[in-house]
Structure 1
Amino acid sequence: MKNRMMNRVVNKYILHNRSIFFSNDDEVKHFLEKRSIENSKKHQQPATLNVKSNLDKLTLNDMQVFRFNFRHEKNQKILYLHGGYNTLQPSPFHWRLLDKLTLNTLHEVVLPIYPKSPVYHYLETFKALR
């Protein structure tokens, strides 16, 4: 019962919101131009979302990094690489998930805002994450 309810919520509210479909090449070009502008801006925590964990904001080698923790032992860390087709920024869903993950595991969770296409190639993303 619980799994079916969760599947309904995920299918109705989450999956289709992050799916991208294009009818022609012009739509792809327009999407990539828009993403190029959006990805050049600094990423912000969603304004409507209150995280319960402590949130540290860092910049490492020109890459934004957010660290979630509860002032507990920080020896164990989880590196979270959000999806998004290497073009989209983390969604509010990702932020809620990381806050809950931090609380439930008592590990520090690290969210890098890695370089994304169309400006960067995936090899540059891998290099930045090293």
Structure 2
Amino acid sequence: MNIGTAATQTGLPVKTIRYYEEIGLVTPDRRANGYRDFSEACVEQLRLLAQARHLGFSLEECRRLLSLSADEGRASRDVRALAQQNLEAVREKIASLSALEAQLQRLIAQCHGDDAPDCAILDDLMGQRGN
């Protein structure tokens, strides 16, 4: 199938598919006219990449997942370890976002939000108030 059909079937933009090919994550066949020809196996790899990226896996982790998916002798513990690492990274991001949320809530609570020019938010952002 052509790249447009592969994009439709996977939900990935054509540009992303081209990028994945450029960095060696997928290798579609080439027709005599030079056009890409995506096999069903290649589309399955693209689906895996789409889902893995949606779950926050890095491109290198995706490369490892593709390798593991192609290895019939793989140990599920290797896949689990990658997922566990990704889960820890997600938890760290959540903690960081929670801290940002608390800081923003504090700043918003300190701002009067009226017609006066004084603004606790701007003061804080400019380092004129203690954190």
- Per the TM superposition, whether the score is higher than 0.5 is no
Bigger share in strand:
1
Structure with greater contact order relative to length (CA < 8 Å, sep ≥ 6): 1
Bigger share in helix:
2
